[in-house]
Chains A and B, each alone.
Chain A
Amino acid sequence: MPLHDTKVYEPVFTGTRRERLDEMLSRYPTKRAALLPALWIVQETRGWVSDEAVAEVANELELTAAYVKGVVTFYTMYHQHPVGKYFIQVCTTTPCNICGAEGVVDALLEHTGCGELGATSPDGRFTVIEVECLGACGFATPVLINDEFLETVTPERVPEILERLG
């Protein structure tokens, strides 16, 4: 990340996103309750949740930025920094672990060029992380790539999966 970020922050909640936020607000008796939905809109739009976005959300929902940040850091699906174009989550909890999940992780690290977990590949396309149980234990090993939920992934299938992503 550059030392001096000279880009001006563009608010997220404009246009249709503003409408979506308003709709979300109508579902709950408090503004605070629209926080998780608001953060999802931010992440869908920008790919991650920056401190400026935290401030914008806090402002919209009449919360403090410290409060919003505390929530962001609690939930592991919100990215606190930019990630690769394809964010790859592999379950390695016990039911998948005994069905070869770690081999899937190794294959992914190798074929994406990421090298290690949490790192973004040099071409910026991939980030691979281990996650806890994805709720598809009978279809080991599940892999979540952005919003695409893949099942029964094996090390052998990895190259073809990555190629399909483009």
Chain B
Amino acid sequence: MGYPHAPHPKETVVLSKYFGEPEARTYAGWVARGGYQGLEQVIGMDRGAIIDLVKASGLRGRGGAGFPAGLKWSFMPTEKRKPHYLCCNADESEPGTFKDREIMRWTPHQLIEGCAIAAYAIQADVTYIYIRGEFTDAYAIMERALAEAYEHGVLGPKAKGPLRDMQMYLHRGAGAYICGEETALMNSIEGRRGNPRIKPPFPAAAGVFGMPTTVNNVETLAAVPHIILRGADWYKGLCRSNPRSTGTKLLSVCGHVRRPGNYEVEMGFPLKDLLYDLCGGMRAGHELKAVIPGGSSVPMLSRDEAEACLLDYEGVVEQGSMLGSGGVIVFDDSVDIVYQVMRLARFYAHESCAQCTQCREGTAWTVRILQRILAGEGETRDLDLLLDVADNMTGKTICVLSDSCAAPVVSGIKKFRSEFEAYLHGARRPAVAVG
């Protein structure tokens, strides 16, 4: 396994600084690179102060929701009456996103340190790192690193002081995108079907095993040691646009750029620069057509919108989409938008947990209508039907998988209607409609 690129000058490498250096995977290598100093520092700190520090930094959840991390930690009971839990969400399954895997493969100790700091701050006795089942190499690397951490007394029985009673375990998933939803993740840890839960209750009140729980994404937790060491002001300073979006973001760029990969940039970085500069632009002979900026569950951006877009939470919203997980899927002019919208709908239909009527039936129905259109048998009213079905699937379910299926459909029809109409009027047939 290799890593495609050395850091680009326009990147701001914090989390990804040691990507590509096998030494960084080891305990010794990590310590040599300044690792575990953040953890050492927090042991002396008041827990409330740690949480305030993270709040002040402006760190927001990097899994997709963008919820302020420090605020989330502050929901945990300060007076501990029951066991507290931290769950690290390493279920990374959002199409277009592949950053958490890299963090775990290259800098497992960075994640372990971030988890330990968070666990300490929220008084969690146990941390479960939920790694999706397909990440076999990341799992093996994390397993070795965790064993090292225990061996070297970072936490567990060989640790000195309050970390002696802290436990950290890996929990392997088994093939379900929906387990990346925080309440489904908790159900999965409990040995149940990965069904999202209705909220309330919220995890901080009753989470895994009914106990106060915080669930954080890998990238979010990996940022924590740096914030501890370098301070909230430093982190806040990593900001090019809106002060409510601070720090760096690992953007997973994939699709039709010349140099796909993970790029770490400051919040507010222009998407145009990311695509044309850092990623080397489109493949030879092709033009940009569309970009899905935040993993497949967010609306797609037209070329103009993409080129005007600033990459932070507010900036992407301004262009009519969301930063989400930061999985940047780049479509050039060779892409059949209708086919890819169908393929995405198929993804959601496959991953639906089956609880909510709208999602269970609506995702599959959406696929069928799109397949019919692709086969040249669609009717004009099918577009309105798709939009109405999408509307019936939005804002009405336990989790947002249903809404996520609607997003590419609605944005695809809105911005590329002519492609759909080409199929309707018989101007285009796909070579083969797979599935």
Touch test A–B (CB under 8 Å): yes
A interface list, Cβ under 8 A from B: 27-30, 32-37, 39-40, 61, 63, 70-71, 74-78, 89, 92-95, 97-99, 102, 130-140, 144, 147-149, 151
For A130, what are the chain B residues with a Cβ–Cβ distance below 8 Å? 435
In this complex, what residue of A is CB-closest to B263?
A138
- Give the CA-CA distance A36 to B131 in the complex, in Å: 12
Task: Return A166 CB to nearest CB of chain B, in Å.
Answer: 19
Task: Return A139 CB to nearest CB of chain B, in Å.
Answer: 7
Is A95 a contact of B172 with CB atoms below 8 Å?
A: no
For B92, what are the chain A residues with a Cβ–Cβ distance below 8 Å? 135
> Of B169, B192, B334, B435, which is within 8 A of A32 by CB?
B192
In this complex, what residue of B is CB-closest to A151?
B1
Task: Return A114 CB to nearest CB of chain B, in Å.
Answer: 16
Q: Which of A34, A132, A140 has the most CB of B within 10 A?
A: A132
Give the segment of B47-55, B173-181, B311-319 that binds chain A. Answer: B173-181
Is A34 a contact of B172 with CB atoms below 8 Å?
A: no
Q: Which of A29, A35, A99, A102 has the most CB of B within 10 A?
A: A29
Chain B 179-201, CB-CB to A under 8 Å as 1, else 0, gives 00000000011111110000000
In this complex, what residue of A is CB-closest to B259?
A138
Task: Return A34 CB to nearest CB of chain B, in Å.
Answer: 7
Is A139 a contact of B98 with CB atoms below 8 Å?
A: yes
Is B172 a contact of A138 with CB atoms below 8 Å?
A: no
Is A36 a contact of B343 with CB atoms below 8 Å?
A: no
Is B335 a contact of A133 with CB atoms below 8 Å?
A: no
In this complex, what residue of A is CB-closest to B257?
A138
- Give the CA-CA distance A159 to B194 in the complex, in Å: 37
> Of B95, B135, B194, B347, which is within 8 A of A137 by CB?
B95
- Give the CA-CA distance A99 to B98 in the complex, in Å: 16
- Give the CA-CA distance A40 to B343 in the complex, in Å: 30
With an 8 Å Cβ cutoff, the count of chain B residues facing the other chain is 59
Task: Return A31 CB to nearest CB of chain B, in Å.
Answer: 8
Is B177 a contact of A138 with CB atoms below 8 Å?
A: no
In this complex, what residue of A is CB-closest to B95?
A133
- Give the CA-CA distance A77 to B97 in the complex, in Å: 20
Is B172 a contact of A36 with CB atoms below 8 Å?
A: yes
User: Residue B261 at the A interface, CB < 8 A?
Assistant: yes
Within B345-372, the residues touching A (CB, 8 Å) are 347, 350-351, 353
Task: Return B332 CB to nearest CB of chain A, in Å.
Answer: 8
Give the segment of B20-28, B108-116, B248-256, B266-274 that binds chain A. Answer: B248-256
For B175, what are the chain A residues with a Cβ–Cβ distance below 8 Å? 75-78, 131
With A34-B191, A93-B344 as contacts: A138 and B83 at CB distance below 8 Å: no
Is A77 a contact of B133 with CB atoms below 8 Å?
A: yes
Task: Return B178 CB to nearest CB of chain A, in Å.
Answer: 9
With A92-B343, A93-B347, A94-B343 as contacts: A33 and B191 at CB distance below 8 Å: yes
Q: Which of A63, A70, A75, A151 has the most CB of B within 10 A?
A: A75
Task: Return B38 CB to nearest CB of chain A, in Å.
Answer: 26
- Give the CA-CA distance A92 to B340 in the complex, in Å: 11
User: Residue B419 at the A interface, CB < 8 A?
Assistant: no
For A76, what are the chain B residues with a Cβ–Cβ distance below 8 Å? 174-176
> Of A98, A135, A148, which is within 8 A of B98 by CB?
A135
Is A75 a contact of B194 with CB atoms below 8 Å?
A: yes
In this complex, what residue of B is CB-closest to A97?
B343
Is B136 a contact of A94 with CB atoms below 8 Å?
A: no
- Give the CA-CA distance A78 to B435 in the complex, in Å: 22
Is B191 a contact of A135 with CB atoms below 8 Å?
A: no
